[in-house]
Amino acid sequence: MRWYLSHVSLTLFVCITLITLYSFMFPPEAGSPLQGLSYASILLLSPVGILLALVSKHRGELSRIRITAIVGHSMLLLFLFLYMTLGYLILGV
């Protein structure tokens, strides 16, 4: 049963990525309740996805799905950090 957790983590990564891409392609209007959804989903769900991938059990050492989920969630957190710091400091976003 615990090997499903890596699949759940990868699915969570794909959903967060799609939400983030959608919010950049079609930005919500100012004051919309969906305005910070992508940032909140990265901030709240990426650590959960990393933990799910780390806790999952596989027969081998590390499966490709598990590695992809861990690296994907880590890249999303890195993107959020860089966007919030460099975007604010340099680009003035």
80-90 pLDDT, tens digit each: 998 888 877 78
Greater confidence, 91 or 10? 10
Express each pLDDT in 13-67 by its tens digit.
999 999 999 988 988 888 888 888 888 999 999 999 999 988 887 666 668 888 8
CA distance 73 to 50: 6
- The pLDDT, as a whole number, for residue 60 is 64
Crossing angle of helices 64-86/4-25, nearest 10°? 30
- The pLDDT, as a whole number, for residue 58 is 67
